[in-house]
Amino acid sequence: MTDGALRARLIPAGLVWTLVRTDFKARYHGTIGGFVWALLKPMSMFVVLMGVFSFLFASNPTYKLNLIVGLFLWDFFAEGTKSGLTSLHARGYLLTKARVPPWVLVVTSISNAVITLAVFSVVIAIFLVGASHPPTPAALAAFGAYCVAMMAIVIGFSLGASVLFLRYRDLNQVWEVVLQAGFFIAPIIYPLGILPERFHFYLYVWPPTPVIEFSRAALVAGVMPTTRGHLYLAGDAVFCLLAGMVIFRLLSPRAAEYV
């Protein structure tokens, strides 16, 4: 491999690091709390929802553990997709003034959500240990795989939605409405078991649902989902990623025209 080819392959990695670092600094620049603000939002929601719904599900001894797992994962999905949706529009100046691969702008836009998810994962593990539900190594490995699947779903959505948003600016408002409804579709504040089983399939069509339910099963209940369930989640993640890549590949060549 020639030096020129090697440098060409190293440029995207350096570019990714620069964009991630810049985005992280820009988001929390000038704030007193800094990165702590990213943790306070789901934690405050946890306190409020726990205070309200713990009375309804007082008979469920693991409700608070399931709630915190669901909230953290949902926060990553919501923040990641919102950032990815507007990523090309927000960084449009790089499309016209620098030779930057457009997909890099989209993928790095969810970096703050990924960093927050990594911190949340540590918080969840500590929370579970403090609640006398220490996760096993197998459960932690499974949870890591579920987070990777969630990231693939978010990246796939971001790739497809980011190029569509350049043409259809109403998508931002539409997605806000979808997220508000999706928060209640996903079994975050309620156990999935309270619904008749015939409705479970429709909830699992919503991508965050299998990730949340499988994570709870592995971390809290100590039960691994079935092979069929894992195959469904893998297929869901691959489909979302491939669909986003196809849409992005078709529309991104003309992205600079709509910035």
Task: Write down the pLDDT at residue 85.
Answer: 95
State the pLDDT at residue 128: 87
* pLDDT at residue 26, as a whole number: 64
Q: Give 62-130 as a DSSP string.
A: THHHHHHHHHHHHHHHHHHHHHHHTHHHHTHHHHHHS---HHHHHHHTTHHHHHHHHHHHHHHHHHHHH
Give the per-residue pLDDT at 43: 72
CB of 11 closer than 8 Å to CB of 18: no
The pLDDT value recorded for residue 129 is 87
CA distances to 5, 21, 68, 91 from 18, in Å: 21, 5, 32, 14
According to the model, what pLDDT value does residue 95 have?
Answer: 72
pLDDT, position 249: 94
Res 176: pLDDT = 95
Q: What is the mean pLDDT of each run of 10 residues along the chain (259 residues)?
A: 45 62 62 63 74 72 87 92 91 71 87 86 86 88 96 96 93 95 92 89 94 95 93 96 96 77
Burial 66-94 (b: 16+ CB within 10 A, else e): bbbbbbbbbbbbbbbbbbbbbbbbbbbeb
What pTM did the predictor assign? 0.84
